[in-house]
Structure 1
């Protein structure tokens, strides 16, 4: 039999074991997968949060772009990763809302294969044209689309939030759509600025700087209300088009993330989003960060999955 003091030390050691394991996170740099090419909203928002989060947790948060297949390639990679909190993904309305309804086999379940931690931004889309375009207002755009019987616009990928916003817009106008898919908003914006494509709907965080610089002309936003960052831009509803659409972004890890790690991540992300400088930066870009819990973000994604599925079917969307 162990001496009483030795027994007490052994019990204390066992009790301290889980605490030491939990306190070890993060034990090394954290990898944050962005399932889109650099330059788009998912990338912009992800990098803002990654920089601030790294300062709080004392380890680098390394952004890794893994674009392709409607953001499903990067999401797949994280779903299969070790659930230790060192591999995360910027989940979004594309990877965890539209793509599960669009792709017959995506290699993951948007709910069962992930631990959803927090929403980090929610942003309307903005209708954009090249500054050289004769289309100078939403009324001009609507008239031109109805005359042509269609709208042609670049999209950050088939099934992205900007694509679905375009589908909703075309339905409201009563015209056909011709979508020109890219591997992310960054390349699509580059071609729009160059005049290679005629129009695009994109989230404000990635499009806003180009609008302010005069490289793109903004016609309207897809939110229920005007965007605080661009108060002079009308909503689509103000232009007589009953369209309200938002892109959303959050942080998720693989299923089975330890509760202590999930709680710590949620606490740190909440602190990042409450930081005045971070909040101002995101609001300046048009993406207002909400305050959600892991349970709240999971419930939100469940609701979005239910709402996107009928829209994808009604629009007859197919992967490309």
Structure 2
């Protein structure tokens, strides 16, 4: 004797295997998202990263038809946000927006960072490449990187600030290249660090371009150089580090969206499609021109490859800069 429920289940299974559309099932699969989507970000509200994240959430919720909420979880170089995202339910309702500096660099900078980011997340898409800026106090007599180098070499006790892995590595790499030294000081937010740059408590800081561009325009800090291969659209008067005399110096982390490992492929593709629409638009190019970053949409395959290469590059740069994990 065959139970009726078992027969129905068997029929549904057979139909699915044959590729036949089952109306009720199709509706269920197409219901994503049915509630708010949360994006974890390892930076504070008002930071350069937060400005970019708010643009993503605003544009994404237009397409998703549901609220897209940025959850700021600053601290430990984005490691807190990464850890929370890695443990989240893989249902498409918790995502991670993170820089390659955190996803590739944390393993070399933090002894207790055990997350294999290239294995524990589903890559969705690369969105943009970020610029960083070498900054000093607004009333500093220093007008160039060469002058900063001379000053650092002439003092016995120097300090620089950082809020993330790129800022730390870029500063340490610069010091190693020019033969100067300075003590690193970690800050939780860029706003706190900028106050100490402005007061002269810090000799310099390599600052996220998204935050630095506005601070430079408002005369809160002075920019000496950008870390990208080409000059920044938002700060075209500021030379690159190569132009400033420091060769082979390019630090431009890419920002990407990830989902917890195990997130269904159809949800990943849906999100990727929406992000492709956003990051091939004039609105995205105009927004990121203001913050000094370059729009660069790439799919999950390209993201996976870029992250692998980034890990290799970080291993080499950390060794060259002489940084020991903390």
Q: After TM superposition, is the score higher than 0.5?
A: yes
Q: CA deviation at 1:224?
A: 1.1
Residue 196 of structure 2 aligns with which residue?
191
Q: Does residue 124 of the first structure (1) align with residue 131 of the second (2)?
A: yes
Moved more, 142-151 or 172-181: 142-151
Unaligned runs of 5+ in 2: none
Question: Aligned equivalents of 1:32 and 1:141: distance in 2?
Answer: 39
Q: C-alpha deviations, 1:182-237, integer Å up to 9, x for none?
A: 11323222332344433211121111011111211111111111112222111111
* Structure 1 residues 18 and 179, CA gap change in structure 2 (3 angstroms): farther
Question: Aligned equivalents of 1:150 and 1:221: distance in 2?
Answer: 25
Question: Aligned equivalents of 1:195 and 1:51: distance in 2?
Answer: 37
Residue 220 of structure 1 aligns with which residue?
225
Pairing 1:237-276 to 2, within 5 Å after superposition: 237-242=242-247, 243-276=249-282
Residue 163 of structure 1 aligns with which residue?
168
Question: Aligned equivalents of 1:137 and 1:286: distance in 2?
Answer: 20
Residue 285 of structure 1 aligns with which residue?
291
TM-score by length of 1: 0.90
Q: Where does structure 1 differ by over 6 angstroms across 4 or more consecutive aligned residues? A: none
Question: Aligned equivalents of 1:73 and 1:318: distance in 2?
Answer: 20
Pairing 1:48-87 to 2, within 5 Å after superposition: 48-87=55-94
Q: How large is the RMSD of aligned CA atoms in angstroms?
A: 2.4
- Count matched residues: 315
TM-score by length of 2: 0.89
SS at match of 2:131: strand
Q: C-alpha deviations, 1:101-149, integer Å up to 9, x for none?
A: 2223324211110011111221221111111212122232122123226
Q: CA deviation at 1:247?
A: 2.3
Q: C-alpha deviations, 1:275-310, integer Å up to 9, x for none?
A: 212220111210111020011011101110111123
Pairing 1:141-160 to 2, within 5 Å after superposition: 141-148=148-155, 152-157=159-164, 160=165
* Structure 1 residues 169 and 17, CA gap change in structure 2 (3 angstroms): farther
SS at match of 2:215: helix
Q: CA deviation at 1:91?
A: 1.8
* Structure 1 residues 83 and 227, CA gap change in structure 2 (3 angstroms): same
Question: Aligned equivalents of 1:185 and 1:18: distance in 2?
Answer: 48
Residue 206 of structure 2 aligns with which residue?
201
